Structure 1
Amino acid sequence: MTDISRTEPASRPFGDRFRDALPKLVLSPSVAMVAIFVYGFIAFTLYLSFSDSRVLPSYNLVGWKNYEFLFRIRAWDTAVTNLVIFGTLYIAICCALGLLLAILLDQKIRAEGFIRTVYLYPMALSFIVTGVAWKWFLDPGIGLEAVMRGWGWESFRFDWIKDSDMAIYTIVIAAVWQTSGFVMAMFLAGLRGIDGEILKAAQIDGASTFSLYRRIVIPQLRPAFMSAFVVLAHMAIKSYDLVVALTGGGPGNATEVPATFMYSYTFTRNQMGIGAASAVIMLMTIAAIIVPYLWSELREKK
């Protein structure tokens, strides 16, 4: 007799097996392309950073020589210093301005939708367009300084873009103008997600508006602050097009940042190994920001 409990289950129809495998078949080309053209080239760049590559890739490994030479280059020190100045001011001002705009819009003002669109519009532009527009606006010969002097204010002077000590701050101004509306939208979404009953209870207890925001509202915006910090830090580290369009890294190399340094050493000075080393350091810096953030998000979900 045949033991019914030991009978093999009937094979599933081909249509069911194909339906289950269809998502994998659809995603497999994208996964393969990401694996090759993203992570594969990251690994290749890492390999080149340990080689003596110049105009063309070389497979002769030289160890940490490129990294040691990189940190002896004055232009790299300037690029790192500029990144610290730019990144710190960019993140701080965008967060402060974005929070202020979000709080103002959260007061149920008239034409909120129109004003929100106006603030968000700069984010729709590319950094190249922003850089070119602000380059014209800040140029002493045709921009703000020329207009103010044309109106009779002969003593007015605003030539930061030509000043090697102040040029980096023009990049901060342009970047904040473009991104603060996006940060505002993130904070506004966080504000709209706060339970109104908590705020009403605090108001009944006699909490002032300042205490309400300081002790209740802003602490509950911690996820929005973290998200804004990660996005802005990532954009600051890889900033290239805005710098090239606005100042071209000048005057001299006063506004050089790691991204422009990497490009110039790889494609202009034909030092591919050093350029790859700088790219790896940029990647590690971004990873140092992104990985802890992702880890904390996954831990909270679990």
Structure 2
Amino acid sequence: MSSTPALSSPARRQWLDTLEGFLPKLVLSPTFVVCVVFFYGFIIWTAVLSMTPSRLLPRYEFVGFEQYISLFDNDRWWLALKNLAAFGGLFIFACLAMGLLLAILLDQRIRAEGFIRSIFLYPLALSFIVTGTAWKWILDPSIGFQKVVNDLGWESFVFDWIKDPEMAIYTVVIAGIWQSSGFVMALFLAGLRGIDDSIIKAAKVDGASMPTIYRRIILPSLRPVFFSSFMILAHIAIKSFDLVMALTGGGPGFASDLPATFMYSFAFTRNQIGLGAASATVMLMIVVAVIVPFMYSELRSANRE
């Protein structure tokens, strides 16, 4: 009776080592393919559509940069960029400042720290749709904050920013700060808790005051946290869509339009896919223009250290 000879011990070990090295690649390959196709593939497809005259359906006729010329000739697009600069600048600065301040206060080992931290982190559990809807009610002059103050006797009090074309974008800033500052606080708090206490104690022994310790030791040590927080907040600001749509709908008129809402409006409601794709590509370029210099600076600093 014949039988298949068993693999020798070295050959069997080599076969198992090969299988062990190949198996993780085999398991991860579907995820890798999906990421490549649905992320990078659609980015390339969007860039291709931005150079075609596509409207309701894609049309693969190359027209060069015609859509980009139309985009930058559109006054609404320039208003969206202006709003992005105002919203992004205020949103990022305020979230960083408020998050750092809250983290410093909580780092003093105050009573009920866990409860207070949970309160500040609670908005993070809500979606931007819920946040936008809630703040829409709060800021509505007929049912929200203004009406409450008027009913309390201050009938001359007016807070109708959500109805004012000049001020509507700042209501988006308020809601965005409320949503994200707690998350930034958690990042800074983790960074503060990671600083070696012996360094701070040594500085105190040398006679350094707490403001000096924060300025010379603690804040420089938090540079990676500042970098990470800035990247996350900038990403949130540039792609903000659901918060604006739930809070102001881009209005009054187009007063609180952002590039993301502009892109949605032209690509999906006005049937101008080519123009919408051009605006989406420009948004990607804005992200790259913001992130790459900061990443380059951070990598250089890390290499010097």
> TM class, shorter-chain normalised?
over 0.9
Q: In the alignment, residue 87 of structure 1 is paired with which amino acid?
A: G
Match for residue 187 of structure 1? 188
Match for residue 159 of structure 2? 158
Match for residue 75 of structure 2? 74
Does 2:111 align with 1:113?
no
Report deviation, 1:24: 0.8
Does 2:212 align with 1:211?
yes
What are the Cα deviations for residues 24-75 of structure 1, in whole angstroms up to 9, with x where unaligned? 1110110011111111111000000111111111100100111111111000
Match for residue 277 of structure 2? 276
SS at match of 1:251: coil
1:1-302 to 2 correspondence within 5 Å?
Answer: 10=11, 14-295=15-296, 300=302
Structure 1: give runs of 5+ residues left out of the alignment: 1-8
RMSD across aligned C-alpha pairs, in angstroms? 1.7
Report deviation, 1:294: 4.6
Report deviation, 1:16: 3.8
What are the Cα deviations for residues 170-204 of structure 1, in whole angstroms up to 9, with x where unaligned? 00000000000000011111111111111112212
Q: Distance in 1 between matches of 2:156 and 2:113?
A: 39
Q: In the alignment, residue 167 of structure 1 is paired with which amino acid?
A: A
Q: Distance in 1 between matches of 2:160 and 2:299?
A: 48
Q: In the alignment, residue 61 of structure 1 is paired with which amino acid?
A: F
Q: Distance in 1 between matches of 2:156 and 2:219?
A: 43
CA 1:298 to 1:25, structure 2 compared with 1: closer, same or farther past 3 Å? farther
What are the Cα deviations for residues 118-142 of structure 1, in whole angstroms up to 9, with x where unaligned? 1111011000000000000000000
Report deviation, 1:301: 7.2
| Structure 1 runs (4+) greater than 6 angstroms displaced | none
SS at match of 2:83: helix
SS at match of 2:55: coil
SS at match of 1:50: coil
Structure 2: give runs of 5+ residues left out of the alignment: 1-9
SS at match of 2:250: coil
SS at match of 1:67: helix
What are the Cα deviations for residues 98-135 of structure 1, in whole angstroms up to 9, with x where unaligned? 00000000001011111111111101100000000000
Match for residue 5 of structure 2? none
CA 1:77 to 1:39, structure 2 compared with 1: closer, same or farther past 3 Å? same
Q: In the comparison of the two structures, how many residue pairs are matched?
A: 294
Q: Distance in 2 between matches of 1:210 and 1:288?
A: 35
Q: Distance in 1 between matches of 2:202 and 2:21?
A: 51
Q: In the alignment, residue 180 of structure 1 is paired with which amino acid?
A: S
Report deviation, 1:287: 1.9
What are the Cα deviations for residues 197-220 of structure 1, in whole angstroms up to 9, with x where unaligned? 111122122222212211211111
Report deviation, 1:20: 2.1
Report deviation, 1:289: 2.9
The TM-score, its normalising length taken from structure 1, stands at 0.93
Q: Distance in 1 between matches of 2:194 and 2:38?
A: 39
Q: Distance in 2 between matches of 1:54 and 1:216?
A: 56
Q: Distance in 1 between matches of 2:93 and 2:14?
A: 59
Q: Distance in 1 between matches of 2:184 and 2:85?
A: 20
Which is further off, 230-239 or 146-155? 146-155
What are the Cα deviations for residues 71-113 of structure 1, in whole angstroms up to 9, with x where unaligned? 1100000000000000000000000000000000000101111
Match for residue 4 of structure 1? none
Which is further off, 166-175 or 289-298? 289-298
Q: In the alignment, residue 39 of structure 1 is paired with which amino acid?
A: Y
Q: In the alignment, residue 83 of structure 1 is paired with which amino acid?
A: L
Q: In the alignment, residue 119 of structure 2 is paired with which amino acid?
A: V
Which is further off, 174-183 or 192-201? 192-201
